[in-house]
Amino acid sequence: MSTPPSNLPPVLRPEQPATRSLGDLADRFGAEVRGEIEGISLRGITLATADLRPGEAFVALQGVNRHGAEFAASAAEKGAVAIITDAVGADAAAASGLPVLVLDSPRARMGELSAWVYGTGPGDDLPLLFATTGTNGKTSVSHILEGMLSQLGIVTGLSSTAERHIAGQVIVSRLTTPEASEFHALLALMRERGVEAVAVEVSAQALSRHRVDGIVFDVAAFTNLSHDHLDDYADMREYLEAKLPLFRPDRSRRAVISLDSAAAAEVAERAEVPFVTVGTPAIAADPAFAASADWTVEIQGEKPDGTRFALHGPDGQHLETIVPVIGTHMAANAALAMVMMFEAGYAWERIVAALDGGRIEAYLPGRTERVSGDRGPTVYVDFGHSPDAFEKTLAAVRRVTPGRVLMLFGADGDRDATKRHDMGRTAVQGSDVLVITDHHPRFEDPAAIRDTLLEGARQARPDAEIHVSSPPEQAIVDAVALVGEGDAILWAGPGHQDYRDIRGQRTPYSARELARRALRDAGWPVPEPHWPVPYSA
């Protein structure tokens, strides 16, 4: 409810929103009405006064420290036509002079409300909707899927941790999955612009916090489950339970499930929609189980510029292509996305014609993204921030690196601290040289975070070459000084992000640009950047 930092990207709205009667909203949702609502129409709905536009309704929710109804007067000043709130906030909201609609649990009804306001519910005319959930790979699957759909000639949309795409327009993201009001507005805008298919990254938190309520995805996919987000969930059981609702008929119509992680068996057992499975025996926790999948992935080769693989289907389908990033796990992600397209109804012959024998045309921002040139050490910037992600990405870098592998990483403050020892252990076991630095300290002491990472690494390999360097602007300079021609640096954590969160402030920061500067200052050539310029208010 408070004003967001000015460097946050904008919340998007349809350019020609339909108007809805406030009286019809009250009737449909059984709201208690306080004030006069006859003849009032609304053009949108939002949870934040900072994003409110004239003609919209402001939904005032109970926050951690304050109730949103305290901001009702500000909403009125910005042109809100009504306040929607709960019984606790009703009196404070009425002081704004606006009509107030009182609902039980408005947070839990945001999806329904937003879908009705924007006309983006299950029975409305929408693009094909694809959802991907799992611990790792959600962003990669989403971007690869969008790239392949574009190769088929489809007008695409995307909503991922990294970016929002609307028929070619690129906007930096705020959240992995936007709030329900923002998400439905985004879908309405995509529909206006002729988008035919949308790839959406759906986090466990999005499901728990009602961000994708009011949406039924045409195809939902599961990548894997590994240690992460135990700051939000009590244990791994609760974390898995948070993801399973995506595979119910009120959330999706069909599913594609990767059998590469141990949790896949339970996801398949408890899915309540028709599904098919995909397996990559070369990287699966249980190779035999993965080999039993309907679709199987065969790794054919890895080079610094991509991974070649073949996908084999249940009815003799066969396709060979290259995903433009390193890692067998990236081939598994691409195969999952291909099967999602097939399950959505795209003809196999059309998929083969676009992809077989060629190369997937997809840009994965901050996912094992190479930022270095043809000479000198190879530097990859990656968003991975879990032990499982570290293990897979380090192994991929190792396979294409003739020299030494240096790992540079930090950990989030005020997030799941239970994984920090495992992060240190996995990082040191997969690298020749380790450099520990800072990431988003938030309100934690960064030195204490570094000490915990160092402790985990030292316990795993007491004799390893480990350096501690802070801040990260200096750490990448130190890392480049420790490597040479034929070596590689994997800088894990920051990926595509253009800021660091330091005591609640978004400090401008780009690991990609810092790495390029460190290489250039060390005398190595660097290519021109190929990533989009971040949004700046």
Instruction: Decide if pLDDT at 536 tops 50.
Output: no
Please identify, in words, the CATH class of the domain defined by 369-521: alpha beta
Q: Calculate mean pLDDT across residues 354-369.
A: 92
Tell me: the pLDDT tens digits for 513-531?
999 999 999 999 999 887 6
Percent of the chain with pLDDT over 70: 96
Instruction: Decide if pLDDT at 2 tops 50.
Output: no
Q: Where are the domains of the chain?
A: 20-118, 128-355, 369-521
368: its two tokens: 């094992």
C-alpha 122/C-alpha 239 separation (Å) is 27
Instruction: Decide if pLDDT at 175 tops 90.
Output: no
Q: Which residue has the tokens 């290489």?
A: 519
Of 52-56, 99-103, 328-332, 493-497, minimum mean pLDDT range: 493-497
Q: What is the CATH number of domain 128-355?
A: 3.40.1190.10
Tell me: the pLDDT tens digits for 375-384?
999 999 998 8
Q: Calculate mean pLDDT across residues 300-306.
A: 93
CA distances for 68 relative to 13, 49, 207, 402, angstroms: 22, 9, 22, 56
Instruction: Decide if pLDDT at 6 tops 80.
Output: no
CA distances for 287 relative to 133, 230, 292, 297, angstroms: 22, 27, 9, 11
Q: Calculate mean pLDDT across residues 171-190.
A: 84
According to the model, what pLDDT value does residue 174 have?
Answer: 60
Give the distance from CA 149 to its chain's centroid.
19
Instruction: Decide if pLDDT at 534 tops 60.
Output: no
According to the model, what pLDDT value does residue 449 have?
Answer: 96
Buried/exposed code over 309-345 (b: 16+ C-beta within 10 A; e: otherwise): bbbebeeebebebbbbbbbbbbbbbbbbbbbbbbbbe
Q: How confident is the model at residue 212 (pLDDT cuts 50, 70, 90)?
A: very high
Collapse the DSSP code of 433 into the 3-class scheme (helix H, G, I; strand E, B; otherwise coil) and give the result.
Answer: strand
> Considering the domain 20-118, what is its CATH architecture?
3-Layer(aba) Sandwich (3.40)
- For residue 507, the surrounding DSSP H or E stretch is strand 505-508
The answer to whether domain 20-118 and domain 369-521 are alike in fold is no
- For the chain, what is the mean pLDDT? 93
According to the model, what pLDDT value does residue 528 have?
Answer: 87
270: its two tokens: 């408890």
Q: Calculate mean pLDDT across residues 473-493.
A: 97
According to the model, what pLDDT value does residue 178 have?
Answer: 80
According to the model, what pLDDT value does residue 498 have?
Answer: 83
Instruction: Decide if pLDDT at 5 tops 70.
Output: no
Q: How confident is the model at residue 290 (pLDDT cuts 50, 70, 90)?
A: very high
